Amino acid sequence: MKRTRILLMIGLLVLVGMAFLAASPTAEKQYAALQNSDITATSLEDLRKSIDTLKRAVVREQDEAYKNLTQARAKGDRDAYREAWENLDRLASYQMTSAQTDALLQRILALDEPERSEYAAWLYQTSPHYKPSLTLDFSAKDETYSYSYRQQIRREPGSEITLPDSSQIKLNSARLGVLVGWGLTPDEVTYQPGETITMSYTDQTLYAIYQSGVRFVDEMNKTDIFFEEGKVEVPTPTSGDASAIFAGWYDRTTGKLITDPSTYTVEGKGALFEALWKQLAIEDVTVLYYDRTKLPTNTQIGIGFSYTNTGNVNLTGLKATLSSESEYVRMLKGELQLGRLSAGLSSTNNSRFATKSKQEVRGEANTFRFIVSDSAPAGTVLPFTLTLTNDRGDSWTHAFELTVR
């Protein structure tokens, strides 16, 4: 009896599903209805419902056509295979036309917010003909120089776009000058470099605006100094962080490096200099296999560490040394060769590759080695100094303490 009821329920569900499919309008009928509708007079909400219904019908029938295609291929039925392909091709054509898209967009732009943005987002996701673009025109020219380049961005209307700043433009600053903004016209700044704007509803072009002068940008100290004309005074930045070593001013577009401010003279239309900082962060010091507060005596102990190049200059010829002033510590291996570490990357004393994320010390390869004398009283605090140096003589130190068990 129970089994009979279950079978009846399954049969009823199948019948309901079949009735639903039979009642659902076909994609062909939906598309024909859309073509016969008056885009300019029908309410936007009714149009949206009609088009969304068409999309659902197309997806449903495409799924069925793909299923038929697979079955026909498996059976070797060429006629059924061709018919399935023709159905897929026909269904792909059931889209909003360019003329319909333009008519809808005109009506949408006449709306107030937030309806305008909501309908524009729907149109962007629905019509293949609505893909507004933002063109960034980097072009510039004068009597001796001409450069032409445009970048096109396509995004959903209302989405955020961050405009390029000076650091992202690799054009010769001595010829162009310095980027001072982006304009809706080629001669007036509308937006600042690096400013975040929203994607427009229609195609727009922003023009890069350059100006003669010399700019000094220091990201560490968050300073931006611009000399429009006249005498240029090269800044001498300082940092409250002892690990930061100033290495000069560098113009990546021309390769010009200033290490001695007294020798600098302006060339051409100007320059864009960024402050170079050599900076190294010595992070986790790891005692291998032992608690750093309970070191054993008369046992070889290994130590590793992780470190990150937090500056914007690549560091080469890196070497690490470990020392201790404690009479109870005897160093067995107090120097490690590390090699090169590019700006922004992290590594450890024995990593094979540097990465953008922090790494952990693994294994005993290329680690410091030392022994604590068995004459060290329990609880003795042992001071250590870890020093990293590069091939230019710069150094970074990190002091830490370990305790005898």
Q: What is the mean pLDDT of residues 33-53?
A: 91
Domain boundary among 179, 211, 243: 211
Is 317 within the bounds of a domain?
A: yes
Asked whether residue 146 falls in the same domain as residue 101, the answer is: no
Domain boundary among 157, 181, 211: 211
Q: Tell which residue, 286, 279, 333, 280, has the closest CA to residue 305.
A: 286
Phi, psi of 156, rounded to the nearest 5 degrees = -65, 135
Domain boundary among 154, 180, 211: 211
Is 270 within the bounds of a domain?
A: no
Asked whether residue 149 falls in the same domain as residue 58, the answer is: no
Asked whether residue 284 falls in the same domain as residue 201, the answer is: no
Q: Residue 164 — pLDDT band, cuts 50, 70, 90?
A: very high
Residue whose structure tokens are 């279950």: 6
What domain range is 325 assigned to? Answer: 279-403
pLDDT per residue as tens digits for the range 191-242: 999 999 999 999 999 999 999 999 999 999 999 999 987 789 999 999 989 8
List, in sequence order, every beta strand (DSSP E) within 149-240.
150-154, 160-162, 178-183, 196-198, 204-211, 213-218, 223-227
Asked whether residue 390 falls in the same domain as residue 294, the answer is: yes
pLDDT per residue as tens digits for the range 252-304: 889 999 999 988 999 889 899 999 999 999 999 999 999 999 999 999 999 99
Q: What's the domain count of the chain?
A: 3
Q: Residue 22 — pLDDT band, cuts 50, 70, 90?
A: very low
Asked whether residue 121 falls in the same domain as residue 189, the answer is: no
Query: What pTM was computed for the model?
Result: 0.72
User: In angstroms, rounded to a whole number, what is the distance separating the alpha carbons of residues 120 and 201?
Assistant: 7
96, 124, 283 from 202: Cα distances, Å: 18, 11, 50
